[in-house]
Amino acid sequence: MKSPEYTEKSNHILFRILVLAAAVMTTIAVGMNVLPDAIKVEAQQNQGIDASSVYETESMDLGTNIKNLVILIPNEGHESQNIGDQSSNQRLINQPYIPQSVTVPKGTTIVWFNGDVDHDHKITLTGQGSNSNNMVFDSDVFAYNTASQPVVMNNTGSFGYYQADVNNEDTDYVMNGTINVVDQSATSPTITTGNTSANIDTVGTLMVPTEELTTHTSDLENGGLSVISTHNFNDIRSGDSQTLIIWGASSSGTNSLESIVSELEGITPTLPYS
């Protein structure tokens, strides 16, 4: 039979063990609460340039550290996106421009890159609302696998851009998008990727077949462009798997916006779109 002294000592040891265990569990719980919050903050900060978000919302929101945006005119972007129109089932992705709508800080330079095979395009940029007839920029015609002349968005406000007469079967179809220019005073977090420590100040999009994603990711990285985010989807035309890529690059030094566009011009003709 155990003595009272032994029992008391055992109870004391057990109590200390329970107190220590409770402290450890509290520490773990706090850590588990803090870590997801930190991850959530980072995700929220970069949500505006997340590929899944861009696909689902058809919009992008850039931070103040981005100087340049390359808006993609995807292959078949000239086909109608209106359900029931004759050519609506010829589209690949759910928007004629990627992104179709964007919020950018004042001073951002924007170019449109033509990835629509064998189709010329032009961009007419106007004010919105009472200024909708006020043309701000006209790109003139630019061919497939080339970019428009750049436009610098120095004024805040909402702007629309469009191109009409792009589809012979659906003559009422107009490609259109919006640009919201804001005066952001707070500095957004620097965007970096896992394979580069360089600050990214140029962002754009690219659509590629999912089965060729590895090849084109390598092409982008070899050209100094980093993959920030990807989103897989089934295209509207035939249900084939496609991937939307959000890429980023630094335009510092010799890697100018023109040289970044040149890298895209080397990739786009290798895509199996027709």
Q: Which residues of 27-62 are buried (b: 16+ CB within 10 A; e: fewer)?
A: eeeeeeeeeeeeeeeeeeebebbbbebbbebbbbbb
Q: Domain residues of the chain, as ranges?
A: 1-46, 50-270
What are the backbone dihedrals phi and psi of residue 104, each rounded to the nearest 5 degrees, phi first?
A: -130, 155
Burial of 87 from C-beta contacts in 10 A (0-12 / 13-18 / 19+): middle
pLDDT of residue 181: 95
The alpha helices in the chain, defined as continuous H runs, are 4-46, 51-57, 213-222, 257-267
pLDDT of residue 26: 39
DSSP letter at 231 equals: E
pLDDT of residue 31: 38
| Identity of residue 238 | S
pLDDT of residue 194: 47
And the tokens for 109? 């330079």
Residue 20's H or E segment, with its range, is helix 4-46
- Measured CA to CA, the distance from residue 123 to residue 164 in angstroms comes to 10
pLDDT of residue 198: 55
Strand partners, 243: 208, 232
Q: Provide the sign of the torsion angle of the four alpha carbons 47, 59, 261, 75, taken in this order.
A: positive
- Measured CA to CA, the distance from residue 110 to residue 68 in angstroms comes to 6
And the tokens for 67? 């100087």
Tokens 């070899």: give the residue: 222
Tokens 């970069």: give the residue: 46
In this prediction the pTM is 0.79
pLDDT of residue 171: 85
pLDDT of residue 186: 46
pLDDT of residue 130: 57
The CATH class, in words, for 50-270 is mainly beta
Kindly give the parts of the chain with pLDDT less than 70. 1-47, 129-132, 185-198, 274
Helix/strand/coil for 241 = strand
pLDDT of residue 63: 82
